[in-house]
A and B are shown apart, each in its own frame.
Chain A
Amino acid sequence: MILLAVKIAILCMSVAILGLLYRVLKGPSVPDRIVALDAIGINLVAIVALTAIFLNTSAFLEVILLIGILSFIGTVAFSKYLEKGVVLERDRDY
């Protein structure tokens, strides 16, 4: 019973990712795409968690944490890039 629920949930998440992928492709602006990517990251977290339940393993919990960190860092980096043109600013004393 729980497995069926997990399957349905993964399907829904996948459809959501496909929808977000459409947004990534279509744009129209770069921020649109970045937000879509961020959302894809969150959806991946969900999918990995569901997969872990489905496979009955705890080996993928680290992946979930990592995706969370990376998608945050990635989004911040993108945003900073869009705003300032650089990701890492130079030291002023340099």
Chain B
Amino acid sequence: MSLLHLAIISPFLFAIIIPILYKLFRQVHTGWFVLPLPILLFSYFISFISSTSNQEIITESVPWIPALGVDFIAKVDGLGLLFALLITGIGSLVVLYSIYYLSKDKEKLNTFYVYLLLFMGAMLGVVLSDNLIVLYTFWEFTSFSSFLLIGYWYDREKSRYGAQKSMLITVLGGLSMLGGIILLYIMTGTFNISEIIEQAAAISVDPLFIPALICILLGAFTKSAQFPFHIWLPDAMEAPTPVSAYLHSATMVKAGIYLVARMTPVFASEGLWVWLIAGFGIVTLFWGSFNAVKQTDLKAILAFSTISQLGMIMSLLGLGAAALHYDDIESSFFGAATTAAVFHLFNHATFKGSLFMVAGIVDHETGTRDIRKLGGLMNFMPITFTLAIIGTFSMAGLPPFNGFLSKEMFFTGMVRVLELNIFNFETWGMLFPVIAWIASVFTFLYSMILVFKTFTGKYKPEQLEKKPHEAPIGMLISPIILASLVIIIGFFPNILSNTIISPALESILPNNTIDVHISFWHGPTPELFMTIGVIALGILLFLTLPKWRKVYDLFPTKLTLNRLYDGGLAFTQKAANKITKTYMNGSIRSYLVYIFAFFIVILGTTLAVKNAFKLDTSNVSSIGFYEILLALAIMIGSISILFVKSRMTAIILLGSVGYTVSLFYVLFRAPDLALTQLVIETISVALFLLCFYHLPKELNKERMSFKLTNAIISIGVGAMVTLIALSAHSNKLFDSIAEYYIENTYTEAAGKNMVNVILVDFRGFDTLFEITVLTIAALGIFAMIKLRMGGGKKNENK
């Protein structure tokens, strides 16, 4: 157990003592106890920067299940470190923010911080694990803790709905990812990502390669809210705002992006990988930004904006993967797309985190998040307004904020798609820059809506629950830090490039050194004109918004993906219910029909397929006259049972059949069996009489009606058993072991009755448990009668 492992699991360990601290120190906000941990972790991970920027990879291994090749291998490389810093850094800020956001007296803080720490530890585990099974374990832990956090206010219907929805969708993806991991293991024989990457070229021709690719991508797409799995993210906004800021903008939704980036060296040789990621990413980008415009809830706008930005990062990663198909990455410029992805990943975490916190402040201070009710808050909340301006302008891609830089690089990547000449990009690649540009216009538009509808315009005090005022300073610290980062990186982007981005690129595109050239932001490139066009059209659309807003009404509400999800869920339940009800009708007769029908079909098919039916008469003894007579008596007796009218007659006939069987025993020289059979038959008949005494005497009221199915099945079962018995008799492969008993009954066991010696000596264990069976039956009958009578008495007393 190294310090690195301890760092990864420390949130889990700390989560254990949170409830104790909560109970012991009720007057102190529990968040203060939590806060040091992420700060400590953040400083610890900062210390790795010097080694990762020298292309060093720190690996620590602890055996977990070595027999299955599952070891907890913690690996810190550029990509893992970038994520670890985001998780712990934003984690610290979110904890600080939550201390002021969540009330100490009204909220169950112990559960909140336990869930949050679980999530933090799980997320660190995801990004720092080199073993895929460990990664999957932590991955599901993030889904699970996210479920708990979304449903934090579990007394609200919508929270539960959102939590269930996100759980179902992310676990669907998680399971499919597990399938992909197992396929990778089948192909490579290892769960370790670094070893899989070494075999990447060999496995790319494997028939399991494409299924593994699709399975892994499904996991990444569901987690990172890519189209059409994005629907859980807007509903996850029912979580407390610190959770939305942390999980649903900065960290968890980027787990899918992390996975894609991590797996790029494995799968990028396949054109499908490039196409799927770039294609779904660009569709998500457009769909998210398009839908964000029509939202009226601040957090809903931010949720769709997150979806859209994740799509953007995803599409950049997809195009960046195409870089691996060129020998000279430096000159092909596709590495630039990956650079943009990593850079924007970082930028998005900063500005989206601060925007969520701003939305939380607005909600906290005014009592609503509906932009139709908000307006003119600028004068009341100047600091919040400044923060919102910085965040949204960065999101819209305006200079001088960091969003501008990554948006420029995004356009660069998209424009360069036109230069791609593999995987049919020369025909369809044109769509990428066009869609990207349109989506950017919408991004600009909703960013403007977000800030100007909230903070400028007419102040509507009558619609607000509280009198708005500036937030307490503690609540503002975290967004201020994030906003300062937005500005600092905007002005000095290169402080990140060599320390963080370059090592991360090294992990995504191994064996290629890419000189990160963020400084190239000047010059009249096509990207710059695209940005100017975005701003111009965006402003125009913003000003004329009321006129064209009706466009959104054109989309039929019945055809949304949410309706599909809800309908699908309801349909599944209904269909499953219906199917179950058709065959589980509660009638034992139907169940017997199924059982016997399967018996006939399976045994019959086996007999037919294996060609097992054989009739061998060489081994058959001659049939005597008495046997025929007795058989006739049994047949008459048993067939008559089916047709008699009174129960009494049926019992008597059954008894006569039993007695005839005992005669058979006599005839076949089995005196002990005959004795037992006679006694048991008598007792059974007596018991039947006892039972039937309590029933109506005649069968007439519910006469056994003739049912064709029953007749066919009973004849089928009879025929099948007969066929099997005949075949079994004709297929005797070995001699009987009876000779041994015949020789040794007297010499070994001192008895002359062979049946009895077998029962109590040679195979006495069977007898022991038959005795047990009888004891249990007797006790059971006794208990049933006694208990029933006791219950009856109680009822009588009442």
Contact = CB atoms under 8 A, between A and B. Distances in A.
Contact of B674 (A7, A10, A55, A60): A60
B663 interface: yes
A44 B663 contact: yes
Interface stretch (B143-151, B381-389, B649-657): B649-657
B667 interface: yes
Interface string A29-55: 010011001001100100110010001
B652 A37 contact: yes
Contact of B675 (A7, A37, A62): A62
A5 interface: no
Interface string B618-659: 000000011001000100110010001000110011011001
B228 interface: no
A33 B671 contact: no
Contacts, number: 78
Contacts of B640: 25
A86 interface: yes
Contacts of B679: 66, 70
Contact of B663 (A7, A37, A47, A70): A47
Given A25-B644, A66-B679, A60 B666 contact: yes
B659 A44 contact: yes
Contacts of A10: 626
Contact of B682 (A27, A30, A73): A73
A11 B644 CA distance: 28
A11 to B, nearest CB: 8
20 contacts: A10-B626, A18-B633, A30-B648, A33-B649, A34-B652, A37-B652, A40-B659, A44-B663, A47-B663, A47-B666, A51-B626, A51-B667, A59-B671, A60-B674, A63-B671, A63-B675, A66-B678, A70-B678, A77-B686, A85-B693
A74 B678 CA distance: 11
Contacts of B629: 14
A81 B652 contact: no
Contacts of A30: 648
A68 to B, nearest CB: 10
Nearest to A88: B690
A7 B624 CA distance: 11
Interface in A48-92: 48, 51, 55, 57, 59-60, 62-63, 66-67, 70, 73-74, 77-78, 81, 85-87
Given A7-B625, A24-B656, A70-B679, 11 more contacts: A14-B629, A25-B640, A25-B653, A34-B652, A37-B656, A47-B663, A57-B669, A60-B666, A63-B674, A66-B675, A85-B693
A49 to B, nearest CB: 10
A27 B655 CA distance: 16
A37 B671 contact: no
Nearest to B648: A30
Interface string A18-30: 1001001101001
Interface SS of chain A: helix
Nearest to A17: B633
B102 interface: no
A69 to B, nearest CB: 9
A21 B636 contact: yes
B41 to A, nearest CB: 78
Nearest to A22: B636
Contacts of A24: 649, 652-653, 656
B678 A63 contact: yes
B689 interface: yes
Closest 10 CB pairs of A and B: A59-B671, A70-B682, A14-B629, A63-B674, A60-B671, A48-B666, A66-B678, A51-B666, A33-B652, A74-B682
B685 interface: yes
Contacts of A44: 659, 663
Given A21-B636, A27-B649, A33-B652, A81 B689 contact: yes
B517 to A, nearest CB: 102
Interface string B158-179: 0000000000000000000000
B649 A25 contact: yes
Contacts of B690: 87
B649 A87 contact: no
Q: Which of A10, A41, A62, A67 has the most CB of B within 10 A?
A: A67
A55 B686 contact: no
Contact of B689 (A59, A66, A73, A87): A87
B669 A55 contact: yes
Given A40-B656, A66-B678, A21 B666 contact: no
Contact of A63 (B636, B637, B666, B682): B666
Given A14-B629, A63-B671, A48 B663 contact: yes
A78 B688 CA distance: 12
Given A47-B663, A81-B693, A21 B633 contact: yes
- Residue with the highest number of chain A CB atoms closer than 10 Å, among B644, B656, B669: B656
B565 to A, nearest CB: 66
A25 B242 CA distance: 85
Contacts of B662: 63
Contact of A74 (B626, B633, B644, B685): B685
A72 to B, nearest CB: 11
Nearest to A62: B675
Interface in A1-21: 7, 10-11, 14, 17-18, 21
Contacts of B669: 55, 57, 59
A78 B671 CA distance: 27
Contacts of A21: 633, 636-637, 656
Contacts of A67: 678
Contacts of B693: 81, 85-86
A83 to B, nearest CB: 13
Contacts of B636: 21
Question: Most chain-A Cβ atoms within 10 A of its Cβ — which of B625, B655, B671, B679?
Answer: B671
Contacts of A47: 663, 666
Most A CB atoms within 10 A — which of B649, B655, B682, B693? B682
A48 to B, nearest CB: 5
Nearest to A7: B625
A7 to B, nearest CB: 8
A19 to B, nearest CB: 12
A77 B653 CA distance: 17
Most chain B CB within 10 A, of A10, A47, A73, is at A47
Contacts of B648: 30, 33
A70 B674 CA distance: 13
Nearest to A18: B633
A27 B682 CA distance: 20
A1 B421 CA distance: 109
Contacts of A27: 649
Nearest to A65: B675
A87 B653 CA distance: 20
Interface in B350-395: none
B671 A62 contact: yes
A27 B690 CA distance: 21
A45 to B, nearest CB: 11
Contacts of B675: 62-63, 66
Contacts of B685: 74
Nearest to A48: B666
Contacts of A77: 686, 689
A10 B690 CA distance: 34
Nearest to A57: B669
B657 to A, nearest CB: 11
Nearest to B630: A14
B742 to A, nearest CB: 16
A48 B630 CA distance: 13
